[in-house]
Structure 1
Amino acid sequence: MALYEVHARKWENGWELQVADVGVTWSPSLVEASARAKEFVCAQLSLDERTVHIDLQPQVNKDLDQLAVEARRAVHMADEATRIATVKVREIVQGLTEAGLSLPDIAQYLEVPQRRLEELLYG
């Protein structure tokens, strides 16, 4: 599988897509950019779409791009913390249930709203 790096830059008519070592095309939206870039690469190089992978790197401006990196990192860390919390909550709930506590009592014991506890357990 071939990997193509695509720098997507916002402009007034959509997104300019610069494909390394291939050329430049465009997309009306960022949502469509990967598919457009893949079609472009395949057409330019006569490749099968199944063999092409696009690494889309959107760019707006230096400050916003840096903020986006930080936001993605924070979301990733939050997702990981939620995954860890879910494992721990399921483990403690099992033990507390075996000790005879009801779900409302467990929520109170853990100082977690029952609705949030249920999200972690079943969501």
Structure 2
Amino acid sequence: MRDYTVRALRWERGWELHIDGVGVTQVHRLTEAEAAARDYIALELDVPADAFSVLIVPSVGDGLDEEMRAAREATAAAQSAAAEAARSTRTVAYKLKREGLTGKEIATILHVSPQRVSQLLATDTERAGA
């Protein structure tokens, strides 16, 4: 499956869509960009609209592009850190349970609710059985 990158450049009447290796089209709203780019590519190349993927890369200028990129990277880093923290918490909860601690004791140690401990241990039990 072919991938097409579409640079969406903001201008006074909407967005100009620069489709790598294919051409340029326009839309009024960024929310219309993927559908318009997909239609344009399909027509220009005479291929089905579901035969390729489209990646819209918006550019608004005024220094905001770098700020948008930094915000996306920070969000991705936070999500990754949260996932790692959850994995670590599950592992510790399981090990504490194996040591004979009760759910309430584990909750106290981990600073979570007993219900959260039940969820953590159920996740590990499900994974162990898989």
Do they superpose with TM above 0.5? yes
TM-score by length of 2: 0.75
**Gapped runs of 5+ residues in structure 1?**
none
Matching of residues 81-92 of structure 1 within 5 Å: 81-92=81-92
User: Could you tell me how far apart the structure 2 residues matched to 1:95 and 1:101 are?
Assistant: 12
User: In the aligned structure 2, how far is the partner of 1:87 from the partner of 1:21?
Assistant: 43
User: Per-residue displacement from partner, 1:13-67 (whole Å, max 9, x unpaired)?
Assistant: 3321111232221223222311210111111221112222212111001521101
Tell me, yes or no, if structure 1 residue 35 matches structure 2 residue 35: yes
SS in structure 2 of the partner of residue 35 of structure 1: helix
Q: Structure 2: where are the runs of 5+ without partners? A: 123-130
Q: 1:107 to 1:27 in 2, by over 3 A?
A: farther
Paired-residue identity, %: 31
Number of aligned residues: 120
Asked if residue 51 in structure 1 is aligned to residue 30 in structure 2, the reply is: no
Deviations along 1:62-103, one digit per CA (max 9) or x if unpaired, are 52110111111111111111111111111111222342232x
1:101 aligns with 2:107: no
Amino acid at match of 1:114: S
Partner of 2:17, secondary structure, is strand
Alpha-carbon distance between aligned partners in 1 of 2:113 and 2:26, rounded to the nearest angstrom: 49
